[in-house]
Amino acid sequence: MNQLSDTAAFSPLYKEVKRRLTGSIAAGEWRPGEALPSETRLAQGFNVSIGTLRKAIDELVAERIVVRHQGRGTFVATHSANRLLFHFFHIVPRGGDKQYPDTATLAFRRGRAEPAEAAKLQLAPGDPVLRVRNLLSLGGRPVILDDLVLPQRLFQDLSEKILTARDNTIYHLYQTRYGINVLRTSERLSATLADAQTAKLLGLKKGAPLLEIKRIAYTYHSAPVELRRSLVDTTGHEYFSDIGK
Amino acid sequence: MNQLSDTAAFSPLYKEVKRRLTGSIAAGEWRPGEALPSETRLAQGFNVSIGTLRKAIDELVAERIVVRHQGRGTFVATHSANRLLFHFFHIVPRGGDKQYPDTATLAFRRGRAEPAEAAKLQLAPGDPVLRVRNLLSLGGRPVILDDLVLPQRLFQDLSEKILTARDNTIYHLYQTRYGINVLRTSERLSATLADAQTAKLLGLKKGAPLLEIKRIAYTYHSAPVELRRSLVDTTGHEYFSDIGK
DNA sequence: AAGTGGTCTAGACCACCAT
DNA sequence: TGGTGGTCTAGACCACTTA
């Protein structure tokens, strides 16, 4: 008796449940780190069986939108330092263990979106954006130069002070202060040569080989929220990527 | 009444079913492209409920070991050209669509595993290996130089003739001729500069920036089957990586 | 029409966590 | 001890493919 959804397009019941749950999370009904109601209660609330409710949550778990803890409950995923380190940060020492980067903000400016940037961020050309330049160090040595472009609209009151005062990752700041949860990234990598300015910042000679990473970060419903270009000195570090399983 | 597995270690019933299915597939009981028995029959065979059987297959699908087709059956996954293109081949034209590479084999030699290679391939140093050098072209221009190291033991009769006579991807050859199904890869990327020989092969100047990719390819049970080093001219192409969702 | 996978249900029991 | 998620069952019906 629940098979008929009120929308015109057909879709399985558990997809509809998943959509409503995602909507509630995106709307902030349960904040990151908070527990959802128990499966029994949610199933009753949606008027579906526990099996159907669980199938919906299975997919949210697979997409890392929520996390289950047996005996405790189901929680909205957060950007803990560990999650960043193991999920969105791909630079590791050659033959060593992962380590946390130290970030120094070199520049913070307001500007307007170039046409190419606007297209990637789904903005109109000329829309206001924030431009941030960070220098990341690993093991005390500068390794990564990051240039970020953020839609001003999504980060209303973000200032250099707020940015540098954070005591956690930048994605954690997006999440806690602006309710923006980065879930997915798309990256394009290539090799390039250091120009004079970049070489100086990274302590290299002009013309040294650098790994260039262009990233688009997305939140719920594949909405883009950040553009990032990284230049990496791969003398002592590498980018890793595991595909499958 | 099925809860008790005959092994000492506890594990859910569906994991045991999954393990047996993986074992049968790895043993060649059903070849790639062939259909498994229907879910009803499998459930009866394992003496479990259809739900439990489906949960086991769900995980095999997630790991791309099998593929389901509604109304037709469940099939052991194959390395179709499309699967390679969309799953294991990450070089795309800047701002263009994916295309298939043309491969030319430049060298085929027998040798012995260096210590570092042996460790990555889980061999003993000095074990016999095959060394293959391929030049891959996209849009008629050479873009990628590949150097492969393969354990001789896994590719008994592989010769330059067999390698170059293939009419499909190299992973398809592994699968059809040697029963080796590449499921997962682990890659490390860095930037480097072209030496004289590489520059000549790729039509570049010595010292041009190149993307270096070191890959280990794995089959069932995370057994390594191939070592690969790629040098990519990223003038007109990029490496892409999508994380999440 | 027959057979396959896909969805959904209702309920039992187990493993784990907090108290 | 009570509540949570995790596993397992048995069966009904739907959607899709093939003959």
Q: List pLDDT tens digits, range B36-91.
A: 999 999 999 999 999 999 999 999 999 999 999 999 999 999 987 777 767 899 99
Same domain, A139 and A190: yes
Instruction: Look at residue A244 and tell me if it is in a domain.
Output: no
pLDDT at B207 over 90: yes
A19 in contact with nucleic chain D (CB within 7 A): no
Q: Note which residues in 153-212 of chain B have CB less than 8 A from chain A.
A: 183-193, 207, 209-212
Residue B172: which CATH number? Answer: 3.40.1410.10
Question: Do residue B11 and residue B95 come from a single domain?
Answer: no
**Predicted local distance difference test score (pLDDT) of residue A245:** 57
> How far, in Å, CA of B178 to CA of B159, rounded?
13
Final residue belonging to a domain, choices A34, A59, A76: A76
Tokens representing residue A200 in the block: 């100086």
Return the nearest residue to D4, CA–C1'.
A71
Are B89 and B193 members of one domain? yes
pLDDT band at B2 (very low <50, low <70, confident <90, very high): very low
B33 and B130 both lie in a single domain: no
Q: Is residue A174 part of a domain?
A: yes
A138 and A18 in one domain? no
pLDDT in tens, B208-217: 999 999 999 9
Q: Based on the domain organization, do A124 and A28 belong to the same domain?
A: no
Contact between residue A187 and residue B243 where contact means Cβ atoms under 8 Å apart: yes
Alpha helices in chain A (DSSP H): 13-26, 39-46, 50-62, 81-83, 115-121, 160-165, 170-178, 196-202
In a domain, B21, yes or no: yes
- Say how far A128 CA is from C7 C1', in Å: 47
The pLDDT of residue B136 is 97
Give the pLDDT of chain A (245 residues) as one tens digit per residue.
333 333 334 689 999 999 999 999 988 899 999 999 999 999 999 999 999 999 999 999 999 999 999 999 999 998 877 777 678 999 999 978 888 899 999 999 999 999 999 999 999 999 999 999 999 999 999 999 999 999 999 999 999 999 999 988 899 999 889 989 898 999 999 999 999 999 999 999 999 999 999 999 999 888 999 999 999 999 999 999 987 75
From the list B64, B210, B241, the residue facing A241 with the nearest CB is: B241
Residues B120 and B137 in one domain: yes
Helix (H, G, I), strand (E, B) or coil at B167: coil
Closest residue of A to B231, CA-based?
A191
One domain for residues B154 and B136? yes
Same domain, A154 and A232: yes
What pLDDT score does B84 carry?
Answer: 72
Q: In 3-state terms, what secondary structure has residue B217?
A: strand
Token reading at A102? 């130290």
Q: Is residue B245 part of a domain?
A: no
A70 touches chain B (CB under 8 A): no
| Domain match, A59 and A110 both | no
Residue that finishes a domain, picked among B38, B61, B76: B76
pLDDT confidence of residue A97: 84
- Average pLDDT, integer, range B114-143: 97
Structural domain including A119 reads: 81-239
Question: What CATH number is given to the structural domain containing A30?
Answer: 1.10.10.10
Residue A244's nearest CA partner among B178, B220, B98, B15 is B220
User: Could you tell me the pTM of the whole model?
Assistant: 0.90
Residues B64 and B29 in one domain: yes
Residue A1 lies in a domain: no
A240 has which bridge partners?
B188
- Of A43, A76, A109, at which residue does a domain stop? A76
Average pLDDT over chain B, rounded to whole? 91
Query: How many independent structural domains does chain A possess?
Result: 2
**B220 within 8 A of B26, measured Cβ to Cβ:** yes
Say yes or no: A42 and A151 in one domain.
Answer: no
Strands B91-93 vs B66-69: parallel, antiparallel or unpaired:
unpaired
Asked whether residue B141 is domain-assigned, the answer is: yes
Q: Nearest nucleotide, C1' to the C-alpha of B41?
A: C4
